[in-house]
Amino acid sequence: MAITPPSNRLWWNEPIAKMEIVWIIVAFCWGLVMFGMMIYWHAEGDQNLSNEAYRTTPAAYAEKANAMVEQYTVREESGYPVVHPPPGSDVYLIARLWQWWPIIEFEKDQSYRLHISSMDWLHGFSLQPVNINLQIHPGYDMVVTVTPNQAGEFGVVCNEFCGIGHHTMIGKVYVVE
Ligand code: CUA
């Protein structure tokens, strides 16, 4: 670490050492490889979701979510409605301070259009323990086509810091046979 200025004040005019050039080229090429891998992993590794985003407003989105909850609620769990929408339908999940609402019940091996939007500010949808992540912005309807291939109970946590109740923002998704 230099605690005194370099002896040559115009050090930035010195030619770059050969080793440094080699490492810059190596790092640049590795960056290109990793860029290509993002596209490869999307297709081959089932990583990097093919999500779509549409403009909406919190009010318009909440209206759709409320209509779905009214129509497909099958039971309640600690004050949250549990919805069981028909396969192939549009399913609306609301992110807000500090909850994921409602609880959703999917059927295994069926496809759904899962919509997620925020009513207030930025939240992070993180499905556990499978580690599927999406940023949820207010004003945008994030849509993913999901086909659950595993039955069980999954947790949803928020992985974008959203204030004092961030750590309590926990939701649930059921996948039934
Ligand atoms: Cu929502 Cu953190």
Which residue reads 């207010």 in tokens? Answer: 138
154 close to 146: Cβ distance less than 8 angstroms: no
Predicted confidence at residue 130, as pLDDT, reads 87
Task: Say how many Å lie between the CA of residue 30 and the centre of ligand 1.
Answer: 34
- The span from the CA of 20 to the CA of 139, in Å, is 46
Angle at 55 between CA 90 and CA 101, to 5 degrees: 45
**If you count them, how many residues does the chain have?**
177
Using CA positions, which residue lies closest to atom 1 of ligand 1?
123
- The span from the CA of 145 to the CA of 133, in Å, is 14
Mean pLDDT of the region 73-78: 93
Quickly state the pLDDT bin for 159 (edges 50, 70, 90).
very high
- Please confirm whether the linkage preceding 121 is cis (ω < 30° from 0): no
pLDDT tens-digit series, residues 25-52: 999 999 999 999 988 888 887 767 888 9
- Between 9-18, 42-51, 57-66, 71-80, the lowest mean confidence (pLDDT) is in 42-51
Which residue reads 């091996």 in tokens? Answer: 109
Angle at 44 between CA 41 and CA 48, to 5 degrees: 40
Ligand 1: which atom is nearest the Cα of residue 166?
Answer: 2
Ligand 1: which atom is nearest the Cα of residue 163?
Answer: 2
Predicted confidence at residue 51, as pLDDT, reads 85
Predicted confidence at residue 1, as pLDDT, reads 57
Task: Say how many Å lie between the CA of residue 84 and the centre of ligand 1.
Answer: 25
Q: How many CB atoms lie within 10 A of CB 130?
A: 13
Predicted confidence at residue 145, as pLDDT, reads 92
Which residue reads 């050039």 in tokens? Answer: 21
Predicted confidence at residue 15, as pLDDT, reads 86
pLDDT at 103 over 60: yes
Predicted confidence at residue 16, as pLDDT, reads 87
Ligand 1: which atom is nearest the Cα of residue 169?
Answer: 1
Quick one: tokens of 141? 């309807």
Please give the helix or strand (H or E) that residue 143 lies within, else none. Answer: strand 140-146
Task: Say how many Å lie between the CA of residue 164 and the centre of ligand 1.
Answer: 9
pLDDT at 144 over 80: yes
CA-CA-CA-CA torsion sign (115, 121, 127, 133): positive
* Position with higher pLDDT, 130 vs 11: 130
Q: Which residues form the pocket of ligand 1, taking CB atoms under 6 Å from any ligand atom? A: 98, 123, 158, 160-162, 166, 169
Q: DSSP letter string over 41-108?
A: HHHHSS-S---EEEE--HHHHHHHHHHHHHHHEEEEETTEEEE-PPTTSEEEEEEETTEEESEEEEET
